[in-house]
Structures are given as C-alpha cells and as structure tokens.
Structure 1
Amino acid sequence: MTAAVFRKHFPALEQRVHLASCSIGARSSDLDDALLRMADDLSGNAWESFEREVLLARQGFAKLVGADEDQIALLPNASTGAYQAASTMEFGKRWKVVTTPVEFPSIAHVWLAQQPRGAEVVFTAEPEDYERFVDRRTRLVSVPLVSYQHGRRLPVERAVHAAEQVGAQVFVDAYQAVGVMPVDVSELDCDFLVAGASKYLPGLPGLAFLYVRDPELTDRVPQLTGWFGRVNPFAFDPTTLDFPGTASRFETGTPPVPACYAANAALGLIGALDLAEVRMHVLQLTELAASRLTGQGEQVHALPPERRGAHIGLVDPDPAALARGLASRDVTVSPRGDLVRISFHYYNNEEDVAALCDALDDVRSGR
C-alpha cells in the first residue's frame, strides 16, 4: 500500500494536519467502521463477537512483532504490563534493575515500586550507557526502543548483549516504535516487550500488548490476576487458582472490548504496509521538517536519522501555549516538557510539513 492510498483511510486529514501520533493516532474510517460493527454486535450474540475480537487482537499483534500468539497477553496499559513482568521476579540474589533517565515515567515508577521487595533501581548516567551499569547483580534491564520525549532510538541490541553476558532479563518498551518501523522480538532478543494500540497503531487508548518470551519460566506467577488469567476462564470456579502455560497467565479481568475492535482496525491497516518503507517515508518527513523549521529560525531538537524515532522536537518556552496556537490553525501537535513534539506517520506528507511551517509562522507573528 502506498502512502497516498494509506492516507485515504484517514479522511479527517483533509481538514486537519495531524502531527501527534506520538500521543494519539489519527482517526481512520476503519476505526469508525469497527466501532459501528461493535454497536451492531451488541444486538446479537455480543460476547461471542467480543471474544473473537480479543483473539484477533492477540493474533494480529503477534504477527506484527514476529511472536507466537501464546506469547502475547492483553492488558489495559503498558504500566500494567510492566507490573506483571516485575511481579514474577525475585530480587534476592540479583536485585538491580538498570534503566535509563529517558524511560517513560510510568514504566520507571513500576520499577521504583519494587524497592520494598529488595530491588535497587539504577538509572544510567547517559541514556545509552547501559554497559557500564549492568553487572552480575542485575536482575532486569529496561530499555525503551524509542524514547517518548526526544524520539531517541536507543541501542537495544547493546543493552540486550550486556544483559545476556550476566544472565539478566530485558524489558523493552516499544510503544513509540510499533506501527511506524519494523519491530521483531526475535531480532531484538528480548524477554518482555510492551506496546499499545493508540499511537502509531492508530486505535484507541485502553489496550496494551505484553510479549513474554517464556511465560512459564518465571520466579513466581503473576501477582495481579483475574478470571482471564485462568486455564479455563469459563469454568467459573472461585476455589481454584490455576495458570495456563501461555502469556494469558499475565492477564487479569474482562478485556477492554471497544479498544480490541479499534486495535484490530489498526492492525489491519498497519499489517498491510511495508514497515521498512514506512520508516524511510517518516525519516524523510522528519528531515524535511527539521530543515524547514530551522530555516524559519526555530530551535529544533532532531537526532541523527539512525538514532531518530518518528518525531522531532520544537523547543519553546511555553510548549502547551504553542500547541494551542497551532491547534487553532488546524495543526495538531503534542507538547511534552520543554518541547513540542512533531511526529509523522505514513499518512503524513510534504504538504503537512508546509502547513505546519505556515501555521507556526502565523503564531509567531501574531496573525
């Protein structure tokens, strides 16, 4: 599917420029159709339809990242995925959790919450400096594939190698990568990977996917559970706590049904793409935007292409106010910290870059 054909699935982009996929994906006609179908399913055998959507979401994400469906758990958010992974670990003989200062706070907070259980959380001095901090005391290495604020593509391969040398496990947060670049769990060689279906997988908030390489090879069973974490959820036996041998043992209660419908719409769209081509398309747009904005006198935070995710940053003393100014001119961006994040997907084009530059010029001049 070409970028132009992909864009046609997002008719709202004819009226508004969407450069905020790092926060929330653009609305597609496929998403609309999926939610209408869910409403129709409510009038029939609703739960049978809902269970089908849950299964399809599990299978679709597994295919996207090169996993087996038995290695995928469906959870409400990435934070829960991180907690479930941490809850299966003992921090006795190995107690260090090595992470990075550019970790998404919600993930880092889960690691910090393990301190009463004996974990020592160590943040690397520099975002990519894992090798200096991983040693034989390390239980877990946590690394984002792409950082949420600056769009930094981290050296996951190096972090994995450092972990393997000492027998530590690796947790990868791929939320800012899945859907906009190739992601393969076998190539990453990680033990856990979490991603969601509301950003570059343009669905809805409320659903995250947790990949677990070896669901049964943990120190202990997941500590947060529910009826979907049972061998047979429909046994309805309150007296028996059993765990399947698959990643569904990490699941809890009733899945977020609307988000599953939305995720399947997104997975259908993204699954039809050549993600290597998507990656090149996005890098070209980020390069063009960085060049145009710098030429207008803006201070741009853009890493070299090989270290860049799908967004660049615009430095501004009041990012939220600038984002509101651009929104009033039909350009959606995403403020974070001292930056306005400007992110691109396969549905964006050079005209979007021109519209951003024109709108920004209007905001700066007070027009």
Structure 2
Amino acid sequence: MNIEQLRADTPAVEHLIHFNNAGAALMPRAVVDTVVAHLQREARLGGYEAAAQQSSALDNVYRSIGRLINAQPDEIAVIENATRAWDMAFYSLPLRAGDVILTSNTEYAGNYIPYLQLKQQRDIEIQVIPNDDQGQISLSALKALLEDERVALVSLPVIATNGGPVQPIEQIGALARAAGVLFLLDACQGVGQMPIDVQKVGCHMLAATSRKYLRGPRGMGFLYIENSLCQNLEPAFLDLHAASLQTPDSFSIRGDARRFENWECNVAAKLGLGAAADYALAQGLEPMWQRIQHLAGHLRECLALIPGVTVQDLGALKSGIVTFTHHRINSMQVQQWLATQAQRINVSTSTFSSTMLDMQQRGLPAVNRASVHAYNTEAEIEAVVSALARMPVA
C-alpha cells in the first residue's frame, strides 16, 4: 500500500497518534470534503433542495456499500447508526416462546440486552456457544447446538469490541445455512478492516457502522438484508418512507431493504459513508487487512516486552484491536497518561459492562484497547511502547 498517500489523506496524523480506530477512525480528506461540501450546499440551497440535487449521488451510496460487501444495492438500508440497524433487523424477526438464540461469549452488551428483553417479553432462550481452546467459538459445539430444532437464530460479532479473536464467520454461516437457521452478523469492527463478502459468509443479515474501520462520519451505519428474507420481514416500525398509504385503511411496505429505513436522515453523513466505502475500495480491502494485521502483530510483540504489561488477545486469527492490561496501573489511568499533551496518543478503555460474558470469564475488569489502522506506522508503535515504558508506576 501507499502509506505515504494514506497519511497525506489523513491530516490529523501530523499532530497525534491515533490508536482508537475501533472507536472512531480518522476520516480521510475525501470523506471530510464530501460531508462539508454537502453541509455548505444545504446552507446555500436549503436541505430538501440540496438532497434533491444529490439524488444520483445518494443512490450511488447503496451501490458503493453493495460493492464493499458483495451485495445488491436493494439489499442495503442506510440507517442512522449500526445499533439501530441491528435493532431493525433483530426486532423484525418473528421470534416466539421457546425459540433459541445462539450467541458468542464475546457478544456486545448492546446486542445482549435486546436478547434479554425478548426473553422477558416472549420467553425466548439464550444459549452461549462455548469457545474452543484458542478463544473463538467452537465449531463442533455450534454444530451440536444447531441440532436442536428450537434454534431460530445465530447472532454474534465478527470481532468483539474488547478485542478477542476474529470469528470463523464463513464456517459459522455454512453451519447455520445447513441447519436452516438465520444468521445475523454484527460486523461493526470488521467492515473496513477486513474483506467481508456476504455471499461467502452466508449471513442473512449484517449490521455495520460508518465511524470505525470504514473511516466514515459518526451517526451513520447500514444494514444488509438478503433479498429473499427481506420480503418476509416486517419492520418493527414504519413511516412514509418505509411504506406508503394506499387508502385510509391500508398501506403497503416497500419491497427492498429500504423498508428498514426512515424518511429523515443526515444526508451529509450518508454521502460521507458512501465516500468512505469508495475510499476503502480504492485502497484495497485485502492489502489494508494485511497491513493492519502486520501492525497489530508488531504492537503485541512490543507490548509483551514491557514489564507489568500483559497482552490479553486470544484467537487463532487476531485483528487490529490490541488489548492489554498493566498489573499496577488501571486502564483509565493508562489511557489518560497516553493522551496527555506531551504524548498525544489516543487509545481507549473497554470495560467489563460492554462484553460482560467474556470479561467475567477471564476475570478482567477492563482492558486498554489500542486499535491500529493501515495509516498507522511502525514508528508510531515505537512511540506508544516508549510512552508506556516511561509511565510512572505508583
């Protein structure tokens, strides 16, 4: 990859080291320019008029996302964030008493809470797929669990918010398909970081965000729904964009995935999401994934040499999210030390409550999360490691 060009496209790297790409990556100039240009267009023309002028560009957003994950444009819904996109799919499923949801030990609390809500409301059952010896879900255990005819859904993240393994999603998808079970994939930490082809994965539904590895603006996400499934799902709520009034007593729901959208949206951010997808495609998802893995592996090796620091990542295949703990300094103090004006290093803290099952099992109250992207460098890794080594220990 042309690392110099990546960094030239990312002006903020001149004054900080950004290792919080799993939270919100730095937007490339092309994305920022797209968002700002539309805001200026709205200021000149008016919001409705500006959107009408950009109707072709807005349609192209669906094509760009489709290319990104190998889906058809009419299988894509652009929604205000990934959480709401995931919710729109999940709450539209006709789950009923006795149905079983299979999930992973690394499930995100934002998804697990809706499982619990439907457990209370509809008496569904939640089962956690056991891990194998390397920390990702056990495929043999999943296969055995899928023999239960009550299983209605497999739902899990490709990569956990607190690091952990890259789940074997193509094998999971194949097992779910063979069992006739729906597969909902949370790809928030995957899209933009690694190649994800929904045809190869075999997921029926996928939710993802703009702001993380895809490097788009905040407040925007998207949902993929396989065409054949989309026709059979009625969204949990509708408006005049998702449906149309036919008579005073009847309405019809639109036939494509946009039935999961609502009429009002942040048009500038939507265009920015399309620009982010185009930018990622232009750089090449596979080269980007290889570089991210290289940088993350190098960072893990360097962190392991610092006295008191323990790398907490598991899995046969690891991602660009590198998690670690310090045996004498809590994670928030580490984050604050690195973020001081002298250091100018952004990392984050992943807490117990966000991935409770995994953190509880491993006895981790919190971890520091240093998530690298392709525009980061080996020199930045050395700067982070040096700063950690200099950190005062009380």
Q: Does 1:301 align with 2:330?
A: no
Change (3 A) 1:292 1:84: same
Q: Which residue of 2 aligns with 1:36?
A: 36
TM-score (normalizing by structure 2): 0.85
Amino acid of the structure 2 residue aligned with 1:128: I
CA distance in structure 2 between the aligned counterparts of 1:218 and 1:237, rounded to whole angstroms: 22
| Cα displacement string for residues 262-317 of structure 1 (whole angstroms, at most 9, x for unaligned residues) | 2123122211022111111111111111111111222112335x421111111135
Query: Equivalent residue for 1:335?
Result: 349
Q: Deviations over 1:92-151 (max 9, x none)?
A: 487111111211111222222222124222222335033343321111101211111124
8 Å CA contact 2:296, 2:319 repeated in 1: no
Distance in structure 1 (CA, Å) of the matches to 2:250 and 2:380? 56
The aligned runs of 1:164-313 (5 Å cut-off) are 164-214=177-227, 219-230=232-243, 240-297=250-307, 298-303=309-314, 306-313=316-323
**Cα deviation code 1:41-80 (max 9, x no counterpart):** 1112313145445323222111100000000011122222
Question: How far off its partner does 1:165 sit?
Answer: 3.1
Q: Which residue of 1 aligns with 2:175?
A: 162
Residue type of the alignment partner of 1:336: S
The answer to whether the 8 Å contact 1:3/1:346 transfers is yes
Structure-2 residue corresponding to 1:121: 126
- Cross-structure match for 2:390: 362
**CA contact under 8 A between 2:97 and 2:124: conserved in structure 1?**
no
Q: Would the aligned equivalents of 2:231 and 2:256 in 1 still touch at CA under 8 Å?
A: no
The CA deviation string for residues 209-231 of structure 1, in whole angstroms up to 9 with x for no partner, is 11011255565411222222126
> CA 1:125–1:302 in structure 2 vs 1: closer, same or farther (change >3 Å)?
closer
Q: Is the 8 A contact 2:322 2:371 kept in 1?
A: yes
RMSD: 2.3
Q: Which amino acid aligns with 1:120?
A: E
d(CA) in 2 for partners of 1:295, 1:94: 50
Match 2:338 to one of 326, 335, 338: 326
Q: Deviations over 1:217-257 (max 9, x none)?
A: 565411222222126xxx89886531122111111231222
Distance 1:3 1:239, change over 3 A: farther
Q: Which amino acid aligns with 1:160?
A: G
| Number of residue equivalences | 362
Deviates more, 1:58-67 or 1:256-265: 256-265
Which amino acid in the other structure matches residue 50 of structure 2?
Answer: A
Contact 2:242 2:262 in 1 (8 A): yes
**Structure 1 portions without partners, runs of 5+:** none
* Cα gap change, 1:93 to 1:32, in 2 (>3 Å): closer
In 2 relative to 1, CA 86–200 (structure 1 residues): closer, same or farther, beyond 3 Å? same
Q: Which residue of 2 aligns with 1:10?
A: 10
- Residue 357 of structure 2 is aligned to residue 347 of structure 1: no
Q: Percent identity?
A: 23
Q: Which runs of 5+ in 2 are unaligned?
A: 352-365
**Kept after mapping to 1: 8 A contact 2:230/2:256:** no
The 3-state SS of whatever aligns with 1:241 is strand
Aligned to 1:113, what secondary structure does the other structure show? helix
Normalised TM-score (structure 1): 0.91
Partner of 1:101: 105
**Paired residues of 2:78 and 2:270 also in contact (CA < 8 A):** no
Are the counterparts in 2 of residues 216 and 246 from structure 1 also a CA contact under 8 Å? Answer: no
Aligned residue number for residue 55 of structure 1: 59
**Partners of 1:101 and 1:123 within 8 A in 2:** yes
Residue in structure 1 matched with residue 354 of structure 2 by the alignment: none
295 and 253 in structure 1: CA distance in 2 versus 1, 3 angstrom threshold:
same
Q: Return the offset for 1:186.
A: 0.5
Change (3 A) 1:340 1:269: same
Q: Which moved more, 1:288-297 or 1:159-168?
A: 159-168
Contact 1:16/1:331 (8 A) holds in 2: yes
C-alpha deviations, 1:168-220, integer Å up to 9, x for none?
A: 10001111011111110001011001111000011122111110112555654
Which of residues 73, 77, 84 is equivalent to 2:77?
73
Measured at CA, do residues 261 and 239 of structure 1 come closer, stay the same or move farther in structure 2, by a change above 3 Å? farther
